[in-house]
Amino acid sequence: MGCRHLHVLAPGEFREATLELFPEAFYVGVNCDIEELLRRESTRGDRYIGLASGSSAVVHEGMNYDILVDSTHSSSEAMTNEILAALSVKRGDFHR
């Protein structure tokens, strides 16, 4: 099962319109501790330091996620497994 679409929703009218147009979409929120965000930004070297931590307060505003994962200590693989499990439950794909 591959990821067909990945979107980041911006605040305001665009977010509201997207939520109205795609009510059956599976919404995933990703959190990370501010200290870790700052560390990652400085390590990457191509990011404005503080951009992620500055937007973290508003990026989740008004969202109702199907699942919320935390990337602070979780690997991409672990978060993917969490998301796929939650998606399976939402779709009713119960594997016995």
* Whole-number pLDDT of residue 68: 94
Q: Minimal CA–CA distance to 9: which of 53, 64, 54?
A: 64
Backbone φ, ψ for residue 13 (5° rounding): -60, -35
Whether pTM exceeds 0.95: no
Q: What is the average per-residue pLDDT within 71-96? A: 86
> Is the pLDDT reported for residue 78 higher than 90?
yes
Q: What is the DSSP letter of 31?
A: E
Q: Contact 25/64 with Cβ under 8 angstroms?
A: no
Q: What interhelical angle do 51-59 and 34-44 show, nearest 10? A: 140
Q: Compute how many other C-beta atoms are within 10 angstroms of the C-beta atom of residue 79.
A: 16
Q: What is the pLDDT of residues 42-71, one digit of tens each?
A: 888 887 787 777 777 777 777 888 999 999
User: 25-91, what's its fold?
Assistant: Rossmann fold (3.40.50)
* Whole-number pLDDT of residue 93: 63
> Is the pLDDT reported for residue 29 higher than 60?
yes
Where exactly are the structural domains of the chain? 25-91
